[in-house]
Structure 1
Amino acid sequence: MTDQPSSARTGRTMVIATLVSRITGFVRTLALVAALGLGTRLLDAYTAANVLPNSIYELVMGGAAASVLVPLLVRVTADDGVDEDLFTQRLLSLVFYGLSAVVIVTISAAPLIVDLTVPGFGSAQRALVVDFTRIFLPQILFYGLSATLAAILNVRGRFATPMWAPVANNVVVTATAAMFLLVGGTGHLETLPQGQMLLLSIGTSAGVGAQMVVLAVVTRRAGLPLRLRADPRGIAVRRIMAMAGWTLVSVTAAQVVLIVVNRLVSQAGPGAVGVFSNAYTLFQLPYAVIAVTVITGMLPRMSRAASRRDLSQVTADLSHGLRLAGVVLVPVAAALVLLGPHLAVLLFAHGNASPAAAHLTGVVLAAYGPALVPFAGYQIMLRAYYALGDTRTPALISVVVSAALLVLSLVAARLVPGRDMVVALAACTALAYALGFVIVAQLLRRRIGRIDGHRLLSSYGRMSVATVLAAGLGLAVGVGLGGSFAVVCAATAVGASLYVLIARLLRVSEFTILTAGLRVPRI
């Protein structure tokens, strides 16, 4: 019981750090849209190129970082016979050498990678994407080192610092977009000078590098000397590869879907890539603030419980995480569905952005809305398998979900051609992750005996009732006022207030737990 205040403070700090990180990330998105122009071929080229380092990183390491590093480091910390610092240095060295090689190979293959991912671009746009990509690809190394350093800090009890680090990235990229405007940059691809292209590309990669530097400095202050080791022996490379092997299968399946979807979007018309990407960024914002915070704090606890074979505690942590995430994400999902077009117009219809592209972004966001809760629940439950040291089962589930999304996307592209295709593709995401949520829940229940299903259904049922009642009246008030700004502000204020009131009346205990954890203690 003595660690509850500390846990509450840690959770509060994590939420604040994640919120600041995502807000600054959103400001970065707005700055780029204002500078490059939503609906322009320049923003499409920049977005297509900037996605590639993330995709390649996820393919070669991202899945392993999520599923292997924290459980592995937790076990090393508990083993008195292992030199923890030496093990960690060798692990970091392996990541550095391996991803450096990946960067060299992918830079050489940049034109082939671009042709594979965005075949719908013309020759001038393709050439610009290749130029951007070659300067963006070192981000692969920065992402890998950042993920490893974050895992090290999490195992050492430093949960909040990795969540603050992306602020450095966001500030650098936002400043880059501002400088682009100051030097006279516009959204016209045809008139982009070489100097402005270098400003955008170098500034973007420097942002990811700044994030890595922040984590490296904090890791050193946490007591770990950062040294490259030439010999990776002693870190159980074969075991790591075995654990990551199945994760690689799932990540590969996901990247295949991403490539296919990007190819489809690139052929949906000018500006479609930027529209689809920015809608997805908005959709991910509440998931990142709430669900990722829950996952980050939950995974080390579940890993320790699993190492003790305490399945009841694994169940308790899982149920707690799902309910805490749901109490916020259920009403937010409703807000995305009801307010998506108004929100996007309010945020994006400025500067070089096209109002029609901003509205389409909102429609895509509304189509993404129903995916928010099943997507978050699916991701949280997968972490229970990772805590148990099982990467095979979640990998196979992920392959099924990816296959479903791939089939749905291909069918949607054939049935809904043109710019409306991006709306249909977003709706396919909701269907695929709803399927994934059901599958992982059933299989996990068989694995650990129970997932506290009755309590989860009861809690989510009351959250849904509170959301429906609050959303209906909130939207009615907002629409009555007219104008996107008035609609968003009024509907959000009225809806949120009613949700809080109704949730308390319905005794949604998770809401009380959440507010108690966020309350600043009196001194």
Structure 2
Amino acid sequence: MSRVLRASAIMAAGTMVSRLTGFVRTAVLASAIGIAALGDAYNVAFMIPMMLFDLLIGGVLSSVVVPLIIRAQKQDADGGRAYEQRLMTVATMVLVAIAVAGVLAAPLLVDLLTTDLSPTEAQVTVTLARYILPQIAFFGVGAVAGAILNTRDRFAAPMWAPVLNNIVVIGVGLLYHVVSTAGGDISRVSGADLTLLGLGTTAGIVAQAIVLIIAVHRVGFRFVPRFDLRNARLGEMGRMGAWTFAFVIANQIGLTVTSNLATGATGRAGAEQVAGIAQYSFAYQFFQLPYGIIAVSVITAMLPRMSRYVQEGRPDLVRDEFASGVRLVSCVIVPCGLLLMVLGPAVAVLIFAHGNTSISDAINLGNVLQVFGLALVPFSIYQLLLRVFYSFGDTRTPALIAVGNVVVNIAGSLIVYYTLPPRFIVMGLAFSFTVAYSVGGAVAWNLASRRVGGGLGGRVVAAGLSRMYVAAIPAAAVALAALWATQRIAGLSPLTSGITVVVGGGLAGLIYLVTSQRMRIAEITSIIGLVAGRVGR
């Protein structure tokens, strides 16, 4: 566990700064353009390049490329350098073509992802999408560079590079505040306003890619375009990536349905202010904060190691690596999930209720965030489980699990959409997401246990999770009392919400640390020891 903990700590520091600046970015944008019609348009436009990237190449990069690069490093006479150059060449050509095609097809893509948009809303969304879509090429090149860095156990740059992206977009949001007279009114937004928002967002990704290119150059990678693609192992990548492609298609179908139902909820509500796609997107981003800081860091450190153990024929070490990762992630994710369920409205009002975002809009977002808190543990464990399959080069099983996930999610989402009032629809979509990942996690655990042989220690993990929940429940109760007192005495405002989050959340965190120490939860003790050691230096 110590190796995972040290590598994860390096990444977690960068990820924490990245995620925190990301939420400053989100708050600034929400304040500038609101989370109503213009906010919805921006979020749909921002979603499109991410979906296209994941659909056409991103899934392959995240699951197939790292094991293939490690194999080339072990087997090729040049240590895999020519293979890495071919990979970067192919990725660059494909991504530029995707970006151009996306810009041309923007109206069709917007229509696919939305329901009941007015002509003005549709036109604004298309315009923003055309400005933002070129970022696909830069995002992808940066992702390839990040994969190369990860195979060399260099994790800092991929975790810190998004900070620069966030800073650029924060500057864009602040500038929009100064130069635009439209605010969040989609009927008054000008072409110059949309150019600033769209190209400014793309500029952030360009800056992020430049940081990663510099970092990969410093570790010795030199990009020389190579078109001898017969040696690029594209056939092998295609065979492994075919199931990953199916995996990504399944997830994108689910996201497309969610986007349509969330935009449809605001259309059905009429003049009533209800949560829509902007609230869902922002709540999902906040839900990703604890997952991104701890789980992504552990996952990124785990995959190269597990891939090497598989190459060495040591499934026992794969099992041990996974088990230590689950315990390390869960000791942080468990209390974070409970606190999101309790403090969601206060957090949302504190961060978002400024400028062109009202307190009622922020509370709607906070209610969605509360439901996402339920999903934090099953979602994180599910993502850890997928890396077990990827380390064996198995992309078929995750794809089949994803199809089942999407079926459960879509079924639940449709039930929610057609049975609940508009103001509850987006909360219901978040609950459907939770159910889908709980079911998918149970299935993935069973199949991964068979894959490694000898099981994954389900009873031990369940016992550990139970102890973590026992330690976290008193902490959540204190936070709930703080929220209740605030609402009774003064109501929620940015000021009172800040006090609630600082006092209630701070006391809750302290109680969890003390309780977990008394219960001798080893993972918390290890984290405290690591932090104390670094502070002592």
TM-score (structure 2 length as normaliser): 0.94
- Counterpart contact for 2:4–2:301, Cα < 8 Å: no
Counterpart Cα distance in 1 of 2:138 and 2:362: 32
Match of 1:424 among 420, 424, 428: 428
* Alignment partner, residue 492 of structure 2: none
Match of 1:261 among 258, 261, 270: 258
* Alignment partner, residue 471 of structure 1: 476
2:248 counterpart of 1:243 = no
2:39 counterpart of 1:35 = no
* Alignment partner, residue 88 of structure 2: 92
Residue type of the partner of 2:203? A
* Alignment partner, residue 233 of structure 1: 230
Counterpart Cα distance in 1 of 2:79 and 2:524: 43
* Alignment partner, residue 276 of structure 1: 280
Counterpart Cα distance in 1 of 2:54 and 2:4: 31
* Alignment partner, residue 189 of structure 2: 192
Residue type of the partner of 2:177? L
Instruction: Tell me the alpha carbon deviations over residues 286-332 of structure 1, each in whole angstroms, 9 at most, x when there is no partner.
Output: 11111100100111111111111211111111011111110001000
* Alignment partner, residue 513 of structure 1: 526
2:5 counterpart of 1:13 = no
Unaligned runs of 5+ in 1: none
2:383 counterpart of 1:387 = no
Match of 2:510 among 491, 497, 520: 497
Counterpart Cα distance in 1 of 2:437 and 2:108: 31
Counterpart Cα distance in 1 of 2:33 and 2:441: 37
- Counterpart contact for 2:8–2:294, Cα < 8 Å: no
Counterpart Cα distance in 1 of 2:17 and 2:346: 23
Residue type of the partner of 1:236? R
Residue type of the partner of 1:457? A
Counterpart Cα distance in 1 of 2:187 and 2:98: 32
SS at match of 1:66: helix
SS at match of 2:31: helix
* Alignment partner, residue 75 of structure 1: 71
Counterpart Cα distance in 2 of 1:7 and 1:409: 37
* Alignment partner, residue 323 of structure 1: 327
* Alignment partner, residue 270 of structure 2: none
After TM superposition, give the deviation of residue 232 of structure 1 in Å: 2.2
2:443 counterpart of 1:439 = yes
Match of 1:22 among 19, 31, 34: 19
* Alignment partner, residue 140 of structure 1: 136
* Alignment partner, residue 465 of structure 2: 460
Counterpart Cα distance in 1 of 2:186 and 2:212: 35
After TM superposition, give the deviation of residue 9 of structure 1 in Å: 4.7
Unaligned runs of 5+ in 2: 268-274, 490-495
Counterpart Cα distance in 1 of 2:466 and 2:104: 53
* Alignment partner, residue 493 of structure 2: none
After TM superposition, give the deviation of residue 515 of structure 1 in Å: 2.2
SS at match of 2:153: coil
After TM superposition, give the deviation of residue 229 of structure 1 in Å: 2.2
Residue type of the partner of 1:286? P
- Counterpart contact for 1:478–1:489, Cα < 8 Å: no
After TM superposition, give the deviation of residue 91 of structure 1 in Å: 0.3
Counterpart Cα distance in 2 of 1:359 and 1:7: 38
Instruction: Tell me the alpha carbon deviations over residues 209-260 of structure 1, each in whole angstroms, 9 at most, x when there is no partner.
Output: 1111110011111111123223323121000011110011011011011111
* Alignment partner, residue 480 of structure 1: 485
2:164 counterpart of 1:163 = no
The worse-fitting range, judged by mean Cα deviation, of 272-281 and 473-482 is 473-482
Residue type of the partner of 1:484? S
Counterpart Cα distance in 2 of 1:375 and 1:7: 20
Residue type of the partner of 1:246? W
After TM superposition, give the deviation of residue 455 of structure 1 in Å: 2.0
After TM superposition, give the deviation of residue 36 of structure 1 in Å: 0.5
2:404 counterpart of 1:407 = no
- 1:299–1:282 distance in 2 versus 1, CA, 3 Å: same
Counterpart Cα distance in 1 of 2:465 and 2:176: 46
* Alignment partner, residue 298 of structure 1: 302
* Alignment partner, residue 174 of structure 2: 178
Counterpart Cα distance in 2 of 1:193 and 1:283: 32
- Counterpart contact for 1:10–1:160, Cα < 8 Å: no
- 1:507–1:415 distance in 2 versus 1, CA, 3 Å: same
Counterpart Cα distance in 1 of 2:349 and 2:8: 33
- Counterpart contact for 1:339–1:488, Cα < 8 Å: yes
Give the length in aligned residue pairs.
Answer: 519
* Alignment partner, residue 211 of structure 1: 208
SS at match of 1:157: coil
Counterpart Cα distance in 1 of 2:497 and 2:22: 23
After TM superposition, give the deviation of residue 63 of structure 1 in Å: 1.1
After TM superposition, give the deviation of residue 518 of structure 1 in Å: 3.3
- Counterpart contact for 1:479–1:487, Cα < 8 Å: no
